[in-house]
Homo-oligomer: A and B are copies of this chain.
Amino acid sequence: MARREIANLGENETIDEVYLVSNKQLRPNRQGNLYLQMQIGDKSGQVNGMMWNANDHVYRKFDDGDYVRIQGTSQFYNGAMQIIVSGIERVDVKEVDESYFVHLGGAEIDGLRGQLAEMLRGMKNPHLRNLAECFLIDEEFMQRFCRAPAGVKNHHAYHGGLLEHVVNLMKVSQAIVPFYPQIDADLLLIGAFTHDLGKIDELTYDKGFAYSDEGQLIGHLVMGVALIDEKAHEAEKLGGEPMPYELVLRVKHMVVSHHGKLEFGSPKVPMTLEALALNYLDTLDAHVISYGKLIEEDINTDSAWTIYHAPIGRKLYKGEPPRS
């Protein structure tokens, strides 16, 4: 029987399926009875779960980040699906087909990592090639880079999401440079590679996704600059000659300015063509993908319009559904 994916749950379905659980909390209701609230998810999405008349014993049966078998019923509440949980049991990870829970399998990540290396090693500028090489041969860095999400919510919030975003952005960068000879193709490419570097430490992503304290207090733009400084020193040893000072400046400038405006958290606005192009392409990539998801996953199924999304200040047009 086909797996019940979170994103495709209908109303009032009976559920008996393995999911990933997080954010469990034991709370009293108005009448003083305890209930258990949790997030229930798989790779297709996440919903809220409620288990009425819970107790401390149930609460301790599993941890956030565990796989659990959930029994219960789906229900529509306040415009969102939730699951009323009647039974919950921890499941050993060995018995789970993890492909249901990750957006990107190991093979896909390996493929993207290979494309990343190939594009970086294909740069003409030997200094930038050396700089990139120092990242590529740092296995610990690469492990984190390939596992990090690109965000806590929104776009690319899954393991490998950062890698996927970066590789796509590098491809788009390569696609548009033929039409702009005034742009240095290698600089834009390494800018696309490095712009979100700091996210490997800004976020925590071992169990659930969150911001680290350093991420919140310092931010990935400043943290990324430190990583580039470190690798630029290594690149000098690797290359046996000094890195051109201006070249490193240009790379670091792309990182600090890639949000485009001060009010978006960049301490400097783009002042080179590559920094300018990187900002626009990064925004394009992020928004096309996140707006695309809002359209695809919209719950307003009988309307030509998505619900109103306050963070982007608009509804999106899906088009009239076919009339049968």
| A115: Cβ under 8 A from any B Cβ | no
How many angstroms between the C-alpha atoms of A180 and B291 in the bound complex? 12
* A263 lies within 8 A of B263 (CB): yes
* B252 lies within 8 A of A182 (CB): no
| A307: Cβ under 8 A from any B Cβ | no
How many angstroms between the C-alpha atoms of A305 and B213 in the bound complex? 9
From B76, B182, B183, B219, A256 is in contact (CB under 8 Å) with: B219
Range class of the A interface residue count: 35 or more
| A20: Cβ under 8 A from any B Cβ | no
Contacts of A125 in B (CB 8 A): none
Closest chain-B Cβ to A288's Cβ sits at a distance in Å of 5
Residue of B nearest to A262 (CB): B263
* B246 lies within 8 A of A273 (CB): no
| A281: Cβ under 8 A from any B Cβ | yes
* B317 lies within 8 A of A253 (CB): yes
Contacts of A273 in B (CB 8 A): 288, 291-292, 295
Q: In chain A, residues 242-277, which have Cβ atoms closer than 8 Å to a Cβ of chain B? A: 246, 249-250, 252-253, 256, 262-269, 271-273, 276-277
From B28, B168, B250, B316, A11 is in contact (CB under 8 Å) with: B28
* B256 lies within 8 A of A218 (CB): yes
* A276 lies within 8 A of B265 (CB): no
Contacts of A284 in B (CB 8 A): 176, 277, 280-281, 284
From B76, B176, B226, A27 is in contact (CB under 8 Å) with: B76
* B271 lies within 8 A of A317 (CB): yes
Residue of B nearest to A180 (CB): B288
Contacts of A225 in B (CB 8 A): 218, 222, 225-226
How many angstroms between the C-alpha atoms of A163 and B84 in the bound complex? 51
Closest chain-B Cβ to A317's Cβ sits at a distance in Å of 5
* A317 lies within 8 A of B217 (CB): yes
* B267 lies within 8 A of A219 (CB): yes
* A176 lies within 8 A of B179 (CB): no
* B216 lies within 8 A of A317 (CB): yes
From B27, B182, B269, A314 is in contact (CB under 8 Å) with: B269
| A313: Cβ under 8 A from any B Cβ | yes
Contacts of A226 in B (CB 8 A): 225-226, 229
Contacts of A314 in B (CB 8 A): 269, 271
Closest chain-B Cβ to A256's Cβ sits at a distance in Å of 6
How many angstroms between the C-alpha atoms of A287 and B50 in the bound complex? 39
| A283: Cβ under 8 A from any B Cβ | yes
| A301: Cβ under 8 A from any B Cβ | no
Contacts of A182 in B (CB 8 A): 288-289, 292, 295-296
| A153: Cβ under 8 A from any B Cβ | no
* A171 lies within 8 A of B179 (CB): yes
Mask, A1-45, CB within 8 Å of B = 1, is 000000000011000000000000001111010000000000000
22 A-B contact pairs sorted by A residue (CB < 8 Å): A12-B32, A28-B75, A28-B77, A30-B75, A172-B176, A182-B288, A213-B246, A213-B249, A214-B249, A217-B256, A218-B253, A221-B267, A250-B317, A262-B263, A263-B263, A265-B268, A266-B267, A271-B314, A271-B317, A273-B291, A280-B280, A284-B284
